[in-house]
Amino acid sequence: MAVRICMLVHEHYPRDFRVRREARVLLAAGLEVTVVSLREPGQPAKERIDGAEVIRLPIKRHRGRPMPVYVLEYAAFAAAAGSWLAAQRPFDVVHIHAPPDLLALAGVLPKLRGARLILDIHDLTPELYRSRFKRAGGAVAQLALKAAESMSCAVADRVITVTEVFKRRLVSRGVAADKILVLHNCPDPGIFKPRRGRGRRRDGFVVMHHGTLLYRYGVDVLLEAFRSVSARVKNARLEIYGRGDWLPRLKEMVEEFSLKDRVTLHGETPQEEVAAALSRADLCVVPNRQEPFTDLLLPTKLLEALLVGCPVVASATTVVADAFLSGGVCLVPPGDALALARVIIGLLADEQARATLAAEGKRQVRRFDWKREQKKLLALYAELGV
């Protein structure tokens, strides 16, 4: 009988690409995977994707709402997931994707019934909370969030996280280092394939950004920069792929700056189409603001562009600057629209500089190899005896 895995994720599936990548690895290894996720309007309650059974629970996602709304939403999803798990034939592994950390509580009953429990921390909740809600709740909120994080890590048999920086932060808060596996958020080479030739459109230059559209990711800074770029480079376009809380404001800015003919907001787009767009783009820009949360990130969108062979301009946040200290990414001061505009204008005017940047980026991105990460994930499952 096949080993049975249940993945819980407080997100719409298959939109969460990390979960989908991991599910594909486990499926290819012959394991049976069920993914329990949120349900979006129009999605079926149950379907099969890539061979995985997908169960969608009728919990509504609330973006950009006050903190109590998020708490109620997280609690509702954890309760619904726990109830669903309790009614199923026992799983061998319950693999919980966080945040929210307290989703680990949904795995307590399965663990008592013999399941092994993995907590896969995509983002550190105390830092994410501080980024999203600033000072709301103050020190009390931080203590509560860190306590929830510690309890969830203690309940889990193993903890996975995405960078060494995240691991060090968890260890500093009391999680045993040997309990934590770092599984980097590497691009899927089956989707983000190196482009051949220049890939540039003949009718002008394309500057591109993709990912979730939130204030902390600085897409408004990119729009401000592109207003200057558009005045200097008459055949430049900006293509933005993704959705998020900041999308309405970006639409307003496009109108305010009279850029409707130069900027396209594509909305949510399948990964395959994003990869194809990167293969045509002249530059990819990752303009994250610098704050405690983003300072810890190594954005997957940056690695995706490098793997395809698109030259990248990115904010010099701490982890990004450290990762590309020796080159491969053109670094700019976070939040500085004028500096960003100058760099974009300079690179669009210099084809050789773009080619050199792209070549070094492709060399640097070899350090982030999804095939190697796959082996680490399967080794972790083997350690758990499944």
Give residue-wise pLDDT tens across range 135-187. Answer: 655 677 778 889 889 999 999 999 999 999 999 999 999 999 999 999 999 99
Residue 346 pLDDT? 98
User: DSSP assignment of 284-346, as one string?
Assistant: EEE----STTGGG---HHHHHHHHHT--EEEE--HHHHHHTTTSSSEEE-TT-HHHHHHHHHH
Q: How far is CA 137 from CA 127, 129, 130, 134, 170, in A?
A: 13, 10, 10, 9, 21
Q: Sorting pLDDT into bands at 50, 70 and 90, what band is 132?
A: confident
What top-level class would CATH report for the domain 4-186+369-383?
A: alpha beta
User: What is the percentage of the chain residues whose pLDDT exceeds 90?
Assistant: 81
State the virtual CA torsion across 169, 178, 366, 306 in degrees, nearest 10. Answer: -30
Q: Nearest Cα to 97, choosing from 9, 212, 213, 156?
A: 9
Look at residue 94 in the predicted model and tell me its pLDDT.
98
pTM, entire model = 0.88
Distance of alpha carbon 305 from alpha carbon 312, whole angstroms: 7
Q: Is the pLDDT of residue 12 over 70?
A: yes
> What does the pLDDT look like over 254-292, one tens digit per residue?
999 999 999 999 999 999 999 999 999 999 999 999 998
3-state SS, residue 161: strand
- Domain boundary assignment for the chain: 4-186+369-383, 205-367
User: Whose CA is closest to 38, among 55, 51, 21, 53?
Assistant: 55
pLDDT at 197: 61
Residue 87's pLDDT band, with cuts at 50, 70 and 90, is very high
Give the pLDDT score at 66: 67
Tens of pLDDT, residue by residue over 334-375, are 999 999 999 999 999 999 999 999 999 999 999 999 999 999
Asked if 33 contacts 26 with a C-beta cutoff of 8 angstroms, the reply is yes
The arithmetic mean of pLDDT across residues 30-57, rounded, is 95
Mean pLDDT of the chain: 92
Place of tokens 């300079």: 346
Cα–chain-centroid distance for residue 279? Answer: 20
- Judged on CB neighbours under 10 Å (0-12, 13-18, 19+), 260 is exposed
Res. 202 pLDDT band, cuts 50 70 90: low
CA dist 325 and 156 (Å) reads: 35
> Do 4-186+369-383 and 205-367 share a fold?
yes
> Sorting pLDDT into bands at 50, 70 and 90, what band is 386?
confident
Looking at CATH, the fold of the domain delimited by 205-367 is given as Rossmann fold (3.40.50)
